[in-house]
Structure 1
Amino acid sequence: MSQAEPGQSVARPAPSRVRPQLGAADLAQHLWRAKWLMLLVFLPLFALGLFAALILPERYTATARLLVSPETAAQAELELLRSPVVLSAALDKVTLAKAFPSIAAGCAGDDCKRAGAEALGAVLTTQIAPGGRAIRLGLTHPDPVIAAELLNALTRAYLDYRPAILGEEPALGFGAQRERFEREVADAEAAIRTYLADNGLTALEAERETLRRLYEAANLQLIAATSRQAQLEAELASYRRKLGAIQPDQTLYEEDSSRERLQELYIQREELRARLAPTAPALRDLDDRIARIEGLLSNQEQTAGTVRRGPDPLYQEVQAAIARLEAEVQAAARQQAELHAQIASLEARDQQMRELAPGLGELHRRRDAAAEAALTYARRAADARARSDLAREGAGDVRLLERAYVPLRGHSLRIPAAIAAFLLAGLAALAVGMMYAFSQRGFVTPRSLERTVGVPVLASVRHH
């Protein structure tokens, strides 16, 4: 730094506005200097907080316990316990004006119920005991009697509402579903009857079974008729061959006396031989007559007398048999034609039933499905009613283990509120002190100057 000439003024640099860098000691020094300001902020705030804490009312907590079965989900029971329906039912038992008079005075209508349920839910505490077999309930209220009364009303409303929501209402819902499916069953039955009537049926399966039996019987009859016709045709051919070998007429009797006369002559000759000599003229004359007759008979091819002829009975019998067999063959042919027509009709009917079977099967499946669903919902409704009865009788999944009694000792938030007021007032005073410390521009300690300008301080002089 150059020395100034005698008689000349020394040029001074303009001071720069540099913010001091403060350390812990510097902050402590500034805070100590601002102690009265901090006290001025701390004391009013602490006094106000302490006053607010002292006027806080004393509150009482009533407790109760519920016992749940191992199969019951305790968390689901808590949700049911905190439902707005249960809270509103509890307030209806105690009345909102008695439980929360400030809310009742400032609302009307449904808003009161909603606000009261929210307020009751805010003061209700629930906790699941270790093991999940019990639920602990707590309800806090400035009036110990109302606290116990509200909690008992809440547990009673819960125990009343639980069977209704888990038992009767599901049972009613199941019953409604059962009735709906029963109506579907009735509609399906009506549709089946209409379907059968439109197609000329009474019962498809029974008629198909009857049709099958008729078809089998017709086939058996056709086989028998075919065999019978073949047998008749064979007999007819045999009789026709036999008829060709039989004459239609036969000789009934013949009128011829030559042989009888010849026999008489034989007898006379024997008588004459016994009486006459062989050369007697009468005996010779008789021999000549016998010889002539024998010669005549030996030369004749046919009987000389009258011959009567008539129809042969065997021929007529064969003809009658042929006529009978022809009639039977024609009857067998007609029977086969009728059986063929009957079988064709049965096959057409069977094809029609086969075409109708899918639609009818779909209707039957709809009816069976609706019947099964109706039966299922009937069983569920019965189970739900049984659970409802058990819950109503106190033997259900949840039972009241300990009802709420009027609490004898209350608790208050005065001490925590006073501590909170002290801490808040202290934080406000400290904030004011810090603001004072960081707003100062001077250097309260040599270390602050060294830290700010980066030059060591050799000595310091206390300024008075």
Structure 2
Amino acid sequence: MSTSAWTSVPHDPPSRRDWAARARYAPTDFITLLWRERWLMLGVFLVILFLGAAFAYTLKKTYTANSSLFVRLGQEYVYEPRAGDAARGAVPDVDQVIQSESEILGSGELRERVIRKLGFATVFPDAAAKYASANPEQKRKMIAQGRDSVGRSLKIETAPDNSIIRLSFQHQDPETAEKVLNTLLEEYLIYRRSLLINDDDKVLARQRDTFEQRLAETDTAYQAFLQTNDIGDFTAQKTALTQLQAQVEAQKYSIDAQLQDRQGRLAAVQAELARTPSEAVLYRDQDMSASSKLAQLKLDREGLLARYLPNAQPVRDIDAQIAQLEQGVASGRTNGEGARRSGPNPIWQTLQSTRNDLTAEVAALRQSQGAYAMQVQEVNERLLRLSQLEPQFNQLTRDRDVLSANVRDFTVKEQQDEAQRQMSAESSDNIRIVQRAVAPSQGKSLQKPVMVLALLFAAFTAACAGLVRMLLRPGLQTPASASRTLGLPVLATAGVKRAA
């Protein structure tokens, strides 16, 4: 059985063999032991409470100015490609627009603009004297620090599927809070226009100037090409030569057909002319004496019948003569040649005249055939020359047309972009200030919350200090804990006599 409880006092260190027996405390023991450490806990409590109170009284009251914006999709968010029509008219959704506008509102550049417009001394009056005496490098650093400070005091709130952006700004002065937030809204409208629609953007103008310069060079090469090859209008000249070629070839074919016809007729006339005599009987008289004699005999017979009977000898004699003469006339024995006249054959003359005409026509047609052949050759050579020059002409024309179209398109885009910038500079139809900031009448201070936290922290720290001090004391501190720890009843306690 251990007898250490009878031979040791509370303030003596326990023997080494009793370290295994830890003190057992009841809740009432904690109260008693903590009461023993009351002065330590009170000191810790008062020190921490004093420090917390001192810090709380350094906190100043802040005023929060509130404002809100209504944002919707604007023309500046519609995608307009610089060249071509790929993805033209593409637009972001409302949440993306709200997120973009929120990023612009929270940008450091915008906060710095607000500070420079209002003045550093207005936004941060406590650092006004230091800013006034600072050099340019120090001022730059102070403005950067002020920009961060404004960012910490500025709060931007958005919600999904909501076109409203809420802003709040805290400052020690209500008037300054109002000025800073309203100035932020004004500068935001200006800054977003310069950011989304850049007034200094001369990309279209520079690109148009580049195309105009290239177009001038191409025009110079085009004119030099026409002058070098003695061409006024390539397309019109080629079209005219093509038409002329068709006409000349058609006329040449017609001349060839006419020449063949005239040559055939001339050959036929010459053959007929060779068979036709050059002279012919023009006039020939007939011998009418037999007929006249026959008629006279018939008259004489009629005279005889007046004196004689038909069977009389004189009548029979004259009838015999008449019969004999009629028989001779009928047989042609009584025909004789009369007077005859000969001269140039009119058929031969006609054939001769026709031959002369055909010979002249053939000569003329041959001459025309040669002329048309030369014309066809000349036209074909000119067309061949134009065909050889056509690839170069097409290249120059294509470059000229493309550059002209590019100059026209970029001029139109530049004018549209300029009109859009002017309209956007005059107004921001897609941004509406729902509520402007007003000077708040009531401020908020953290003094009370800090004091409460300091009080709670001081009490907790003091209790912890008391517990630590209580647990670090050696030995058994109360009779009840000694009895529970050792399992023996405590019969008596004696105070410790301290050395004088």
Aligned match for 2:55, one of 52, 63, 66: 52
Are 1:86 and 2:110 matched, yes or no?
A: yes
Distance of aligned partners of 1:443 and 1:194 in 2 relative to their CA distance in 1, 3 Å threshold:
farther
TM norm structure 1: 0.70
What residue number does 2:248 align with?
Answer: 221
Looking at structure 2, the residues matched to 18 and 313 of structure 1 have their Cα atoms a distance apart, in angstroms, of 170
What residue number does 2:98 align with?
Answer: 74
What residue number does 1:134 align with?
Answer: 164
CA contact (8 A) 2:255 2:365 kept: no
Are 1:103 and 2:127 matched, yes or no?
A: yes
Q: CA deviation at 1:93?
A: 4.2
SS at match of 1:407: coil
Looking at structure 2, the residues matched to 413 and 225 of structure 1 have their Cα atoms a distance apart, in angstroms, of 113
Aligned match for 1:192, one of 218, 226, 239: 218
What residue number does 1:178 align with?
Answer: 204
Whichever residue aligns with residue 16 of structure 2, its letter is P
CA contact (8 A) 1:53 1:418 kept: yes
Distance of aligned partners of 1:232 and 1:66 in 2 relative to their CA distance in 1, 3 Å threshold:
same
Cα deviation, 1:279-298, whole Å, max 9, x if unaligned, reads xxxxxxxxxxxxxxxxxxx9
Q: CA deviation at 1:236?
A: 0.8
SS at match of 2:368: helix
What residue number does 1:275 align with?
Answer: none
What residue number does 1:118 align with?
Answer: 148
Looking at structure 2, the residues matched to 19 and 224 of structure 1 have their Cα atoms a distance apart, in angstroms, of 139
Looking at structure 1, the residues matched to 267 and 387 of structure 2 have their Cα atoms a distance apart, in angstroms, of 44
What residue number does 2:16 align with?
Answer: 15
Aligned match for 2:415, one of 357, 374, 378: 378
CA contact (8 A) 2:64 2:443 kept: yes
Looking at structure 1, the residues matched to 250 and 24 of structure 2 have their Cα atoms a distance apart, in angstroms, of 127
Q: CA deviation at 1:405?
A: 2.8
Distance of aligned partners of 1:79 and 1:220 in 2 relative to their CA distance in 1, 3 Å threshold:
same
Distance of aligned partners of 1:19 and 1:447 in 2 relative to their CA distance in 1, 3 Å threshold:
farther
Q: CA deviation at 1:439?
A: 4.5
Please, which moves more after superposition, 26-35 or 188-197? 26-35
Looking at structure 2, the residues matched to 361 and 427 of structure 1 have their Cα atoms a distance apart, in angstroms, of 89
CA contact (8 A) 2:244 2:379 kept: no
Aligned match for 2:173, one of 143, 148, 160: 143
Q: CA deviation at 1:318?
A: 0.3
Whichever residue aligns with residue 241 of structure 1, its letter is A
Distance of aligned partners of 1:340 and 1:90 in 2 relative to their CA distance in 1, 3 Å threshold:
same
CA contact (8 A) 2:248 2:376 kept: yes
CA contact (8 A) 1:240 1:322 kept: no
Please, which moves more after superposition, 17-26 or 418-427? 17-26
Cα deviation, 1:259-284, whole Å, max 9, x if unaligned, reads 99x99x99xx9xxxxxxxxxxxxxxx
Please, which moves more after superposition, 49-58 or 14-23? 14-23
Looking at structure 2, the residues matched to 440 and 235 of structure 1 have their Cα atoms a distance apart, in angstroms, of 153
CA contact (8 A) 1:128 1:134 kept: yes
CA contact (8 A) 2:269 2:354 kept: no
Count of paired positions: 408
Cα deviation, 1:5-48, whole Å, max 9, x if unaligned, reads xxxxxxxxx93695776888599587666454333322211111
SS at match of 2:273: coil
Looking at structure 2, the residues matched to 325 and 450 of structure 1 have their Cα atoms a distance apart, in angstroms, of 162
Cα deviation, 1:193-228, whole Å, max 9, x if unaligned, reads 123123227999963354134213312421331232
CA contact (8 A) 2:218 2:399 kept: no
What residue number does 1:243 align with?
Answer: 270
TM norm structure 2: 0.65
Which ranges of structure 1 fall in alignment gaps of 5 or more residues? 2-13, 270-297, 299-304
Alignment of 1:22-421 (within 5 A): 28=30, 34-69=37-72, 73-107=97-131, 108=134, 109=136, 110-128=140-158, 132-166=162-196, 169-173=197-201, 176-200=202-226, 207-247=234-274, 250-251=278-279, 312=349, 314-391=351-428, 396-421=429-454
